Structure 1
Amino acid sequence: MRAHRSHAWAAIGLGSDDMPGALVLMMYDNHDETNVTFSPRIAHGHREPEYFPAMDYEIYSGTGIYNEHMVVAGRCLSNCLSWPLGEDGRQRGAIDVSSQSQGAMYALGPLAGFNSDHPRSSVQYHVQYGSFSMNMSDARGATAPLSVDLARQRANDGTELTARFIRKADVLATVHAVCMVMAFVLVMPLGAVMLRLGHAVRWHALTQSSAMVVVIVGFGVGVATSLRYQRSRGFDSYHQILGIIITIFVLGQFCLGFYNHRLPPPRRRTLISKAHPWVGRFIIFFGIMNGFLGFTFGMNRRYAIILAALIIAMCVAIFLTIVGKRFLTRRRERRGASRNSAPRSMRASPSGRPFERLPTYPPHGPPPSWPAPVPAPGFAAPPPGQHAYYYPPPQPPSPLGDQQSPQHQFRYQFQPQQGVVLHQQPVVPGTAGAPPAPDQAYQPPPMASTQAPRELI
């Protein structure tokens, strides 16, 4: 066997031109990258072959690394013409040593470095494979060491290529990684930002529900991927255990969110409403950490750099969003404060028509549409931060004149949060501006038909 070291491993399968039932002879660099590790295995299906320790073989001198090629020269001593298949071992695979076109196959690992001294080491998915036929009649009877120099031999001897497939990838593992990274790094943080900054409860629920669906899909694909490798079939690795726990928490978090957001506002802060955001934060954190464990477990550590770059980009995007949101909010508040403190003659009416140009007045000062205020006795001083003005009868020429009566004095307070607050107090009989007799009903003065009512702020 001879293959270039650019591939992580190389193997040929005997007894079948397909994986199920084939005896796989695999080789890869040893730990020091000074020699080759030979590993006989049995393929029980379209998954990683299982190590076959019962095969007895002899390795010849000349096995090693030559000119950046892995070379294995050897001879099988026993359990290579037939081998057990299945868990019970009743079925057996075999090689027809009299066949002139015995079916066989080959496979090459990914273009990545891999080295190990253990013949049981798990390997990555192949990127190239094919089938070929071999004349077994020329392989019988030789007991002397192989005389062909495989380090220099480049042509196949006694074999004929029948099929070749290149650029194959582990689609299931790729889909699993994409789903989990998209859910924990992109969709879940986006849903949290929507709720905290935009108060978009419906969009938050939609994004987090979508993330849950993506996690469920990624979990199912991950289980299917685990069944294809010997290192993951037991579901006992840290990545798998943590992934199962996180998936359960994602389902529980969905139930907590549904219960928490189904109550109409205003609602009181409960234990569930307090736990819901913190559970979400822990799910995102441990989900991202499990992604790094997953790339290490899947023997693709270089993709952890891409995951770290995505995390940094997401953190920067969230930071810029928060800072931008606060900047725009403060800018809007400053503009609103300056607009409210501007003179009345410079403002626009709610209907879009300009106000009548009137004299300016300081902030929270008296309305210019009334005459100068006259303090009325009997009123206490306004609270701090408020301005109070008193208007005794006769009625001031204002749009509120039809709501006033000689029987009362009116007090107007200008409060920053509530606007104009009207207070009235009855006039004591016998004083100036005493109310009319009880049998005389008060009629407000009619408004001139030619005078249009003024707009109020």
Structure 2
Amino acid sequence: MYFTSPAYSWVGVGFGQSMKNSLMFILYPSHDGSNVTISPRLADGHSEPSPFGDTQLQILPGTTITDSMFVVKAVCRSCRAWPGGFLNTKDQSYPMIYAFGPGNQLQSDSLNAPLHRHFKYGHFTMDMIAATGKGGVPAPATELKGVELQGNMTRDHDRANLAHAVIGCLAIFLFWPINVIVAGFFKRIKIHVVISIFTMVFLVTSYALGIATSGEYNRSKSFASAHQILAFLSILPILLLCILPIKPISQLHASIPRLHNPLTTLTLALLIITGGLGLRLASEATPVILGYSAVAILVAVFSVLLTTCIKRRGSAYARANGRKQVKAEDEQDLVLAAYYANKQYETESRSASAASSVPTLNSKASHSSYHGSVGGAGVGNGFVKYNGGTINGIGAGGPHARSPSKDGVFGGGTMPGPQYLLNMHPGVPVYHGN
């Protein structure tokens, strides 16, 4: 056979009406770009054909790349029958197919070099009787002889694979950092939840498209590539991010909510690495991989720094929710302090009444003159030996609160600085020596 073609990334011609069960010859530049690699292949469907080693292909002198053209001179033995098909040398309109890949991105000496999906493809018929000669390599010819083209070439698209990459990048590089910002600076947790769900929808869609397109290429049919393995491993932290915030689960242990930040960082790192490995698996050009790496580094650094700041400072929602919790705890402490203070006062009042006839709580007038009027539930930061006093500097004993008594015991009224600092424990009196 004699074959010439523009030197695209790859060019193929096959025997049969469609790709399935078609014996093909795939041509692409050798590793150094100076010669042609010819790979006999079979396809089991509309997918990348696999090398077929049962044929004996002998490359003859004169096979080369010249003026950006493939020139092939070869003889093939054991090529008239193959699994699922055969070559009928008596057929005057034998169906054949041809296709070529995009650009000049493939150079390899391997017969199993990975192929990009064809850029354009077409059909033609050949008169096998006219194609049969006396032997030897046919002479070059410019006119068609025994060949009839079947329609125009068809432009092909790999939309599913492109959508897989674009949707995945949008989820990682757009919605992910936006969600981190929302989680850190918005008090409404519902916004964070909505964007999280939106991000997960994009990730699930990207996963589904990736699984669907994996069967089209030899390098991904077995799901054993590093890209695919890491993608499946990333599902575990993604599921944990979705499940752990659910209340019945998050309340099982106090440490469960703390796993959210490290899981977020781990998941982002795994997804970024997975995307980079996917570009390598797809044999993308070096500029595309470098651009992806630059964007990935920027997003990763931004997300890690922002997550660290949020962890130290607390998210807006956590801070707002945390203030409510502090107030509730403070109120509970104050109630307990008031209870123990009243108990202490009643005990000491009874002891003092028995020993020195000091007015007790039963004498309203005496109690008012000795400790100030009875009012409120003064506890905590004020002197809490009696039932009036100050809460955080706010007098709860009413307008009858007085200054320290003669025996130097402070209590009631607005707390001065030194007494406030010394009286940090509820129920402990502060004595001021003259």
Question: For 1:120, what is the secondary structure of its paired residue?
Answer: coil
Alignment of 1:57 onto 2:57: yes
Partners of 1:427 and 1:75 in 2: CA distance: 115
Alpha-carbon deviation of 1:319?
10
Aligned pairs (5 A) from 1:222-261: 222-259=210-247
Uncovered stretches (5+) of structure 2, i.e. residues with no partner: 311-371, 376-390, 403-434
Match of 1:111 among 84, 100, 103: 103
* Counterpart amino acid of residue 113 in structure 2: S
Aligned pairs (5 A) from 1:40-189: 40-78=40-78, 80-84=79-83, 92-148=84-140, 154-189=142-177
Alpha-carbon deviation of 1:31?
0.5
Question: For 2:165, what is the secondary structure of its paired residue?
Answer: helix
Aligned-residue CA RMSD (Å): 3.4
Q: Percent identity?
A: 27
Alpha-carbon deviation of 1:94?
1.5
Bigger helix fraction: 2
Alpha-carbon deviation of 1:225?
1.2
Partner in structure 2 of residue 13 of structure 1: 14
Question: For 1:19, what is the secondary structure of its paired residue?
Answer: coil
CA contact (8 A) 1:260 1:273 kept: no
| TM-score where L is the length of structure 2 | 0.67
Match of 2:288 among 303, 326, 347: 303
Aligned length: 327
Match of 1:280 among 255, 264, 270: 264
Partners of 2:248 and 2:271 in 1: CA distance: 23
Alpha-carbon deviation of 1:169?
2.1
Question: For 1:72, what is the secondary structure of its paired residue?
Answer: strand
Alpha-carbon deviation of 1:289?
1.5
Alpha-carbon deviation of 1:245?
0.6
Partner in structure 1 of residue 278 of structure 2: 294
Alpha-carbon deviation of 1:421?
5.1
Alignment of 1:426 onto 2:426: no
Are the structure 2 counterparts of residues 146 and 119 from structure 1 closer, same or farther at C-alpha, using a change threshold of 3 Å?
same
Are the structure 2 counterparts of residues 179 and 427 from structure 1 closer, same or farther at C-alpha, using a change threshold of 3 Å?
closer
Alpha-carbon deviation of 1:136?
0.8
Partner in structure 1 of residue 379 of structure 2: none
Aligned pairs (5 A) from 1:384-423: 423=397
* Counterpart amino acid of residue 273 in structure 2: M
Partners of 1:271 and 1:82 in 2: CA distance: 67
Alpha-carbon deviation of 1:156?
4.2
Alpha-carbon deviation of 1:223?
1.3
Are the structure 2 counterparts of residues 157 and 62 from structure 1 closer, same or farther at C-alpha, using a change threshold of 3 Å?
farther
Alpha-carbon deviation of 1:172?
1.8
Aligned pairs (5 A) from 1:367-386: none
Question: For 1:289, what is the secondary structure of its paired residue?
Answer: helix
Partners of 1:219 and 1:40 in 2: CA distance: 33
Partner deviation per Cα, 1:25-75 (whole Å, 9 max, x = no partner): 111001111100000001110001111100112222211101111121212
Alpha-carbon deviation of 1:171?
1.6
Alpha-carbon deviation of 1:315?
6.5
Are the structure 2 counterparts of residues 68 and 247 from structure 1 closer, same or farther at C-alpha, using a change threshold of 3 Å?
same
Partners of 1:427 and 1:27 in 2: CA distance: 101
| TM-score where L is the length of structure 1 | 0.64
CA contact (8 A) 2:30 2:36 kept: yes
Partner in structure 1 of residue 5 of structure 2: 3
CA contact (8 A) 1:179 1:217 kept: yes
